[in-house]
């Protein structure tokens, strides 16, 4: 029999649960956020933000260049000639905010004492189940003309000197860039040619050392460009010229409507809602990079991986605070001016590419799909306090089996050795079965 107090709690719980069932989305869940798998896990990770509504795009590129600042040069194909007012220098912090917000996350739950208020808990359970100076302008223009290269625009933004070029032949463009001390890897001409055929322009940036030193900048800040074009794509093939090994690219796509999808490659979701042993909490970075590599090898090396898709007005669980309207503006969001609640949907895509993979640039299309997804990994801590009721034995047996299943799951998604995993698991002290061993199989 329920005591009067438990009856009161039962009635109160029914009201609360009814309200929750009416007001919460079906994907909502409880859990305590523990850790995130962010870009610091990768040795070579480029990051790009694409904020797009209709044909209008704000593209933000984080520079992961490693070397002397005076040697930096960036060449990016763009669909239109960009003017000075269309280029801006952003802040690295906003990319980190998006990374933190959308990173795959680890959550943990704690089992309750199975002996506490058992009747009440049974009821609850049943209810809840159902940066170089530019060459002199005149000679450069003459040389450029001889090579079929046209300087469409020339300006400086922050610590960057910018050129916007068009070209008739890729060999001429490569020659002009080399003559003007832009260091290009071998084979650049072959990769430049497809963009010239598509009549795309080339956004070229170097670091202005005087401006760099004057501003006291200690890192290369992201470059942002705003333009209008029906082409919804991200050029990645030129980046492969510098790829000595596999490169990781994280793309954060912001839209007022819904999830962005890749049209020319298969998109697969990273493994999610995986229950793993407790010790992984201290090895989460190693776990996620190993699991991603395993899935990358298994799925196919020219797949795009979806790590996060969510309405940015919410998060569950939140791996970082929601971005403010000012932060979203810094990320390139231009449509969200009046609404109190941000009208922004984020899609986080993870691409790992090499020279021999991804023969085409990434092409996207906008959808109204607002289905939520996240890379989420779960740790369930067993109850290890004193238990004196009859239910304790059954709980310990079930928990031991759960821990064995977690070992199997972790080995499957990472390729780690089961026995190595087992040695790290803090098993509960489950009682040995009584009677003869064969009793359990008849």
Query: pLDDT by residue (tens digit) across 116-139?
Result: 845 455 555 555 555 334 444 444
Residue 34 or residue 184, greater confidence: 184
CA distance 211 to 161: 10
Instruction: Give the mean pLDDT of 200-207.
Output: 89
Instruction: Give the mean pLDDT of 258-273.
Output: 94
Residue 438: pLDDT over 50: no
Residue 350: closest CA among 384, 393, 303, 395: 303
C-alpha dist (Å) from residue 4 to 1, 248, 385? 9, 60, 28
Highest mean pLDDT out of 16-30, 56-70, 308-322: 308-322
Q: Name the token pair of 6.
A: 């438990």
Residue 174: closest CA among 197, 150, 190, 163: 190
Instruction: Give the mean pLDDT of 4-18.
Output: 40
Given the structure tokens 């040695």, which residue do they identify? 423
C-alpha dist (Å) from residue 220 to 70, 205, 238? 11, 12, 20
Confidence band, pLDDT 50/70/90 cuts, at residue 25 = very low
Q: What's residue 356's pLDDT?
A: 73
Reported as a single tens digit per residue, the pLDDT across 405-419 is 999 999 999 999 999
Q: What's residue 242's pLDDT?
A: 59
Reported as a single tens digit per residue, the pLDDT across 88-112 is 999 889 999 999 999 999 999 999 8
CA distance 314 to 335: 18
Q: Which of 22-36, 180-194, 265-279 is the least confident region? A: 22-36
Residue 357: pLDDT over 80: no
Q: What's residue 129's pLDDT?
A: 52
Predicted TM-score (pTM) of the model is 0.81
Residue 423: pLDDT over 90: yes
Instruction: Give the mean pLDDT of 143-158.
Output: 86
Residue 282: pLDDT over 60: yes
Q: Which of 11-25, 42-56, 353-367 is the least confident region? A: 11-25
Q: Name the token pair of 61.
A: 């590129």
Annotate 24-44 with b (16+ C-beta within 10 A) or e (fewer): eeeeeeeeebbbbbbbebbee
Instruction: Give the mean pLDDT of 269-282.
Output: 94
Q: What's residue 207's pLDDT?
A: 85
Q: What's residue 295's pLDDT?
A: 92
Which distant-in-sequence residues (6+ apart) come within 8 Å of 366 by Cβ? 52, 232, 255, 257, 258, 260
CA distance 13 to 267: 42
In terms of Cβ atoms closer than 10 Å to its own Cβ (0-12, 13-18, 19+), residue 413 is buried
Instruction: Give the mean pLDDT of 68-89.
Output: 87
Q: What's residue 116's pLDDT?
A: 80
Instruction: Give the mean pLDDT of 229-239.
Output: 86
Q: What's residue 291's pLDDT?
A: 95
CB 73 within 8 Å of CB 209: no
Residue 394: pLDDT over 50: yes
Residue 29: pLDDT over 50: no
Q: What's residue 46's pLDDT?
A: 84
Which distant-in-sequence residues (6+ apart) come within 8 Å of 42 by Cβ? 248, 289
Instruction: Give the mean pLDDT of 204-214.
Output: 82
Q: Which of 16-20, 317-321, 425-429 is the least confident region? A: 16-20
Residue 338: pLDDT over 80: no
Residues of the chain above pLDDT 70, percent: 76
Q: What rounded mean pLDDT belongs to the chain?
A: 80
Residue 388 or residue 231, greater confidence: 231
Residue 30: pLDDT over 70: no
Q: What's residue 431's pLDDT?
A: 57
DSSP structure string for 366-431: E------EE-EEEEEEPP-S---STHHHHHHHHHHHHHHHHHHHHHHHH---HHHHHHH-----PP
Residue 442 or residue 169, greater confidence: 169
CB 166 within 8 Å of CB 152: yes
Residue 224: pLDDT over 80: yes
C-alpha dist (Å) from residue 401 to 225, 254, 396, 406? 54, 43, 9, 9
């Amino acid at each position: 029999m329920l005591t009067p107090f438990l009856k009161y709690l039962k009635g109160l719980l029914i009201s609360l649960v009814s309200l929750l069932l009416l007001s919460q989305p079906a994907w909502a869940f409880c859990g305590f956020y523990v850790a995130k798998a962010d870009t610091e896990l990768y040795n070579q990770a480029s990051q790009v933000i694409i904020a797009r509504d209709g044909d209008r795009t704000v593209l933000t590129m984080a520079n992961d260049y490693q070397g002397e600042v005076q040697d930096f040069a960036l060449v990016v194909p763009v669909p239109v000639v960009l003017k000075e007012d269309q280029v801006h220098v952003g802040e690295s912090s906003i990319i980190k905010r998006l990374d933190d917000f959308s990173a795959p996350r680890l959550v943990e739950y704690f089992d309750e004492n199975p002996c506490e208020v058992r009747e009440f808990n049974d009821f609850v359970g049943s209810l809840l189940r159902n940066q170089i100076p530019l060459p002199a302008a005149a000679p450069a223009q003459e040389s450029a003309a001889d090579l079929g290269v046209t300087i469409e625009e020339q300006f400086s933004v922050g610590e960057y000197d910018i050129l916007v070029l068009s070209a008739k032949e890729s060999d001429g463009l490569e020659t002009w860039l080399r003559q003007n001390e832009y260091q290009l890897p071998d084979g650049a001409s072959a990769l430049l040619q497809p963009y010239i055929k598509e009549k795309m322009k080339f956004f070229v940036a170097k670091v202005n050392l005087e401006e760099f030193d004057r501003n006291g900048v200690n890192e290369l800040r992201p470059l942002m460009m705003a333009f209008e074009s029906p082409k919804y794509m991200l050029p990645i093939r030129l980046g492969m010229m510098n790829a000595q090994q596999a490169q990781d690219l994280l793309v954060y796509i912001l839209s007022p409507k819904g999830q962005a999808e890749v049209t020319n490659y298969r998109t697969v979701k990273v493994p999610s809602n995986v229950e793993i042993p407790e010790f992984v909490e201290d090895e989460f970075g190693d776990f996620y990079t190993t699991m991603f590599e395993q899935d990358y090898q298994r799925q196919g090396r020219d797949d795009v991986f979806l790590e996060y898709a969510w309405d940015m007005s919410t998060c569950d669980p939140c791996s970082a605070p929601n971005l403010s309207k000012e932060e979203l503006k810094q990320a390139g969001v231009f449509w969200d001016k009046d609404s109190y609640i941000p009208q922004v949907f984020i899609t986080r895509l993870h691409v790992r590419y090499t020279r021999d993979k991804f023969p085409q640039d990434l092409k996207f299309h906008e959808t109204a799909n607002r289905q939520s997804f996240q890379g989420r990994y779960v740790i369930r801590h067993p109850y290890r306090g004193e238990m004196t009721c009859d239910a304790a034995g059954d709980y310990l047996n079930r928990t031991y089996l759960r821990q064995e299943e977690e070992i199997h799951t972790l080995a499957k998604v990472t390729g780690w050795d089961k026995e190595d995993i087992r040695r790290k698991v803090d098993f509960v002290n489950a009682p040995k079965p009584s009677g003869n061993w064969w009793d359990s199989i008849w």
